[in-house]
Amino acid sequence: MLRIDLTNQIALVTGASGELGSVIARTLAECGADVVLHYCRNAAKAERAAEAVRNAGRRALVVQCDVTDLGDVLRMQQEIREQLGSVSLLVANAVIQYEWKSVLEQPLADFQTQFASCAMQTVHLTKAFVPDMIEKKYGRIVAINTECAAMADPNNAAYTAGKRALDGIVRCLAKEVGCHGITVNQVAPGWTISERDRINHTESAPEYESTVPLRRRGTDQEIANMTAFLLSDLASFTTGAYIPVSGGRVMPAI
């Protein structure tokens, strides 16, 4: 029987105070990892997510950081190393939220924040955490992308641009660090059902679901499952991949 086993690993999940990040953190803990839960502003939500990690029997460390600032990311890395150890599993999930508008109407600052929180976050995390992975000759990195990067639908140009920049960085990084036993992959969710939807009873979206071959929206748990798989040694020969978890709405061509 195959089992996702992350025992003896230390995972960092950025944006762990968010809807998806908290589920990813809990799932990694259930697979045996100790988890560092990053947040930028919402400490209370991060602490609640940490409780789920501890309830799974694993160590949890909550850290605050602005992932768009390299100096702050380096500070976070030092804090994690001193309190828990070196990170071997890295999930780049944080993103700055903004109001989607047409290119003509979108403020320029939104393009800048999306590039900072999608692309530059990954660069900063790489500079801070990959050296330790290289020293250990082992590491797993998963960047959370989006189906939007492939679909390029109207009114999400800033988000799409930021995530497509992320895609280029991840592909280059995978080729640069593969020789050190480090894999780098992307999980690309579709429009995902989160806890907010369950509370508000907004799980159903017929117009969107009609465009999905499986005729439903995916769940946060399904995104977390794919993330955990890519972080595990079951995926030890997979790197540089962009994997949609979108019910077939995105099917990358060969």
Per-residue burial over 96-126, b if 16 or more Cβ lie within 10 Å, else e, is bebebeeeeebeeebbebbbbbbbbbbbbbb
**What pLDDT digit, counting tens, does each position of 96-122 carry?**
999 999 999 999 999 999 999 999 999
pTM: 0.96
**What pLDDT digit, counting tens, does each position of 181-220 carry?**
999 999 999 999 999 999 999 999 999 999 999 999 999 9
**What pLDDT digit, counting tens, does each position of 79-103 carry?**
999 999 999 999 999 999 999 999 9
Structural domains present in the chain: 10-245 (3.40.50.720)
